[in-house]
């Protein structure tokens, strides 16, 4: 798939659906953590275990999480952190690739950063 570069306007137009998808991914990721030791116990005893409802549910949640992350990536965005809801939109600024940066809970895309700078390098647009 060819890499997509967003204008600021395109990124802002895409944001509502990205917000929904990453919000769902964050909830699913949090739900996966709630399985805690029970999933590890299932894995440790997998050769003697015929399955369990917890294992089935865990797999369903994991697959749903994967689906949302794939949708975000297919839209051309980069998921930098599911837990924090960090999303980067590839963008061309002054002839070079940078990222428009957005975090779940922010109302709008108001920051950008160099490709190698990460979240700590966010600069107001």
Average pLDDT estimate for 111-120: 94
In angstroms, the CA 87 to CA 75 distance is 12
* Alpha-carbon span 101 to 90, nearest angstrom: 9
| 97-115 confidence digits (pLDDT tens) | 999 999 999 999 999 999 9
Which pLDDT does position 121 carry in this prediction?
92
Say which residues have a Cβ less than 8 Å from residue 72's Cβ, sequence separation at least 6: 18, 21, 22, 25, 79, 87
Length of the chain: 125
Q: What is the pLDDT of residue 73?
A: 97
- pLDDT level of residue 14 (50, 70, 90 thresholds): very high
Question: What would the mean pLDDT of 54-82 be, rounded to a whole number?
Answer: 93
DSSP for residue 91: E
Q: What is the pTM of this model?
A: 0.87
């Amino acid at each position: 798939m060819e890499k997509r570069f967003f204008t600021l306007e395109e990124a802002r137009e895409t944001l509502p659906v990205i917000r929904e998808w990453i919000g769902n991914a964050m909830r699913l990721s949090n739900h996966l953590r709630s399985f805690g030791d029970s999933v590890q116990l299932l894995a440790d005893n997998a050769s003697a275990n015929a399955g369990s409802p917890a294992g089935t549910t865990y797999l369903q949640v994991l697959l749903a999480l994967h689906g949302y992350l794939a949708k975000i990536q297919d839209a051309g965005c980069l998921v930098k952190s599911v837990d924090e809801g960090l999303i980067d939109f590839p963008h061309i600024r002054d002839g070079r690739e940078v990222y428009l940066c957005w975090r779940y809970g922010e109302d709008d895309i108001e920051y950008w950063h160099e490709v190698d700078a990460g979240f700590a390098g966010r600069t107001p647009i």
